Amino acid sequence: MTGKLPFEALSVETLAARLGANAALCSHIGKDTSRWKVREVGDGNLNLVFIVEGAQGAAVVKQALPYVRLVGDSWPLPLKRSFFEYHALTRQQARAPGSVPDIHHFDEGQALIIMEYLSPHIILRRALIEGRQLPNIARDIGLFMARTLFRGSDLHMATKDRKADLALFADNVELCDITENLVFSDPYFDARMNRHTSPQLDSIVAELRADRDLKVEAQRLKHIFAANAETLLHGDLHSGSIMVTETETRMIDPEFAFYGPIAFDVGMLLANFWMAFFSQCGHEQNGKRDAMRAYLLDVTVETWSVFRSEFSHLWRTEHTGMLYQKSLFEDQGDRLGAEQALDHMLHQVWTDMLGFAGVEVHRRILGLAHNADFETIADADLRATCEAKALKFGRHIAVNRRQIHSIDEVNTLAALIEREDRI
Ligand code: SR1
Ligand code: MG
């Protein structure tokens, strides 16, 4: 296949014929296409994902579709998201080596990326629903966030390079538009594609949509998201964008990558741990999940702590960019000044992170794109109980984010809300 052919979606039936001459794929799995086994495994909202197994190995072929898979061709979406995903993956690999799948090949015209097949990895969200306590995720994800977010910013990069990258990713307009609407606005009014567990949550949803303080805060967060081009974000760093084994963690799917606020990735990620926490009572068929709940809160503490300390370490060792430049502080022997600037920055990330986490929780319960943590709770009353608690938590951390000073405070609140009987 060459990039010059018109775009055509692959299928299980056509993949071997169309990619049989692809040197990169053949070198990883073997060139005898009669031995290739192809499965389509995409369970995300947007793309096709194939696992192709050959005589010598396996690879993943991910292809964008010209529309939103979850909704259908009534919602067109440009193929260029594959280009942004490819470029984001190469930058993440350079900035946080070993944290993303290896890329074997990219075909811009066919919007497809051929990459490493991660096995026996599974999606982190699934592992958390199953109640698995993975020992390394907090450290691995905390390091990934600190390294990619610091090294993609004007704290580290030559500003000429960062501005070139900013321009490159600025064209990822349609995916930013999805986030701008789905995360920050749609949950707070009766948007067309919204849905929620009804009628159980109807009155809570009405209350939230009439909550002026919450709506103003969500719009302030949208403003920060849209106007604060600090660093190259993953852009969709939830537990469905992370693959794990007992000991290994890889981040996938950065097609929403663009230059935005550091706090966004951190907030979205932690929100997904807090949602996993509130969903546990819906998954207790085989026994109580108290230990899992405690584990999940510990994971939020460790993730934030690893992120903070790695970000601080990079500030002290790789602070080569034009922001808070060294010539004003370290080079004049003013280490305290540099530390003060770092503290201010981390404080801002903390405060905004809580806001982004709060609205991420809301959109997964009130908007179009729900998550399996709650969706797999078959009993609607039980699901609504879990969701209502999460909504209350999300509202509190979004609206009161400037008055919350530690992650222990947030987790005490989560534990208190979890223990409440009624919704
Ligand atoms: C229409 S896309 C819906 C959601 O799926 C993606 O994974 C992003 O989270 C997006 O908001
Ligand atoms: Mg995705």
Domain assignment present for residue 6? The answer is no
Distance CA 7, CA 9 (A): 7
33-to-16, 22, 30, 85, 347 alpha-carbon distances in Å: 6, 11, 8, 27, 55
- The answer to whether the predicted template modeling score (pTM) of the entire model surpasses 0.95 is yes
Task: Kindly tell me if the per-residue pLDDT of 422 is higher than 90.
Answer: no
Task: Kindly tell me if the per-residue pLDDT of 186 is higher than 60.
Answer: yes
Query: What pLDDT score does 146 carry?
Result: 99
Domain assignment present for residue 2? The answer is no
Question: Do 290 and 242 fall into the same domain?
Answer: yes
Number of domains, the chain: 2
Question: Do 92 and 151 fall into the same domain?
Answer: no
Query: What pLDDT score does 423 carry?
Result: 61
- The one-letter amino acid code at 307 reads F
Is the CB of 181 within 6 Å of ligand 1? Answer: no
Task: Kindly tell me if the per-residue pLDDT of 3 is higher than 50.
Answer: no
Task: Kindly tell me if the per-residue pLDDT of 192 is higher than 80.
Answer: yes
Q: How confident is the model at residue 5 (pLDDT cuts 50, 70, 90)?
A: confident
| CB count in 10 Å sphere of residue 231 | 25
Task: Kindly tell me if the per-residue pLDDT of 4 is higher than 90.
Answer: no
Q: What angle do CA 103, 109, 115 make, to 5 degrees?
A: 15
Take atom 6 of ligand 1 and give the residue whose Cα is closest.
Answer: 45
Task: Kindly tell me if the per-residue pLDDT of 197 is higher than 70.
Answer: yes
**DSSP assignment string, 160-200:** HHHHHHHHHHTT-HHHHHHHHHHTTTGGGTT-TT---STTT
Q: How confident is the model at residue 44 (pLDDT cuts 50, 70, 90)?
A: confident
Question: Do 267 and 297 fall into the same domain?
Answer: yes
For residue 73, report the phi and psi dihedrals to the nearest 5 degrees. Answer: -75, 0
Helices (H), 210-334: 212-227, 262-279, 290-317
Question: Do 224 and 317 fall into the same domain?
Answer: yes
Ligand 1 atom nearest to 363, measured from its CA: 11
Is the CB of 70 within 6 Å of ligand 1? Answer: yes
- What CATH number did the domain enclosing 50 receive? 3.30.200.20
Residues 6+ apart with CB under 8 A from 199: none
Q: Which residue has the tokens 């460790």?
A: 302
Distance CA 116, CA 212 (A): 47
Residues 6+ apart with CB under 8 A from 112: 10, 61, 62, 63, 64, 82, 106
Spatial contact of 227 and 399, defined as CB atoms under 8 Å apart: no
For residue 196, report the phi and psi dihedrals to the nearest 5 degrees. Answer: -150, 165
Distance 341 CA to ligand 2 centre (A): 34
Ligand 1 atom nearest to 238, measured from its CA: 9
Task: Kindly tell me if the per-residue pLDDT of 316 is higher than 80.
Answer: yes
- What CATH number did the domain enclosing 254 receive? 3.90.1200.10
Nearest CA to 135 out of 248, 276, 286, 8 is that of 248
Question: Do 103 and 144 fall into the same domain?
Answer: no
Residue of 69, 71, 178 to mutate, ligand 1, most atoms within 8 A of C-beta: 178
Is the CB of 178 within 6 Å of ligand 1? Answer: yes
Domain assignment present for residue 4? The answer is no
Question: Do 378 and 303 fall into the same domain?
Answer: yes
Task: Kindly tell me if the per-residue pLDDT of 2 is higher than 80.
Answer: no
Distance CA 356, CA 368 (A): 17
Structure token digits, residue 43 = 């369970």
Query: What pLDDT score does 421 carry?
Result: 82
Question: Which range of residues forms the domain containing residue 98?
Answer: 15-116
Ligand 1 atom nearest to 71, measured from its CA: 1
Structure token digits, residue 7 = 């775009």
Distance CA 296, CA 43 (A): 24
Q: Which of residues 70, 98, 116 is at a domain's end? A: 116
Spatial contact of 389 and 417, defined as CB atoms under 8 Å apart: yes
Spatial contact of 318 and 156, defined as CB atoms under 8 Å apart: yes
Question: Do 199 and 299 fall into the same domain?
Answer: yes
Is the CB of 236 within 6 Å of ligand 1? Answer: yes
Domain assignment present for residue 10? The answer is no
Write down the mean pLDDT value for the chain. Answer: 97
Residue of 43, 45, 172 to mutate, ligand 1, most atoms within 8 A of C-beta: 45
Question: Do 285 and 257 fall into the same domain?
Answer: yes
Structure token digits, residue 330 = 């370290």
Ligand 1 atom nearest to 368, measured from its CA: 3
Q: Which of residues 116, 140, 172 is at a domain's end? A: 116
Give tens-digit pLDDT for 204-253. Answer: 999 999 999 999 999 999 999 999 999 999 999 999 999 999 999 999 99
Summarize the confidence of residues 52-78 as an average pLDDT: 96
Q: Which of residues 116, 151, 180 is at a domain's end? A: 116
Structure token digits, residue 247 = 């000991």
Give tens-digit pLDDT for 326-364. Answer: 999 989 999 999 999 999 999 999 999 999 999 999 999
| CB count in 10 Å sphere of residue 90 | 13
Structure token digits, residue 178 = 């999805």
Domain assignment present for residue 188? The answer is yes
Sheet with 103-107, strands from edge to edge, namely: 37-40, 47-53, 58-64, 112-116, 103-107
Question: Do 108 and 216 fall into the same domain?
Answer: no
Take atom 5 of ligand 1 and give the residue whose Cα is closest.
Answer: 45
Question: Do 63 and 197 fall into the same domain?
Answer: no
Domain assignment present for residue 52? The answer is yes
Question: Do 108 and 248 fall into the same domain?
Answer: no
DSSP E strand boundaries for 65-118: 67-68, 72-76, 103-107, 112-116
Domain assignment present for residue 1? The answer is no
Distance CA 410, CA 415 (A): 9
Sign of the torsion formed by the C-alpha atoms of 121, 264, 340 and 323: positive
Residues 6+ apart with CB under 8 A from 271: 238, 356, 357, 358, 360, 361, 364, 394
Question: Do 245 and 171 fall into the same domain?
Answer: yes
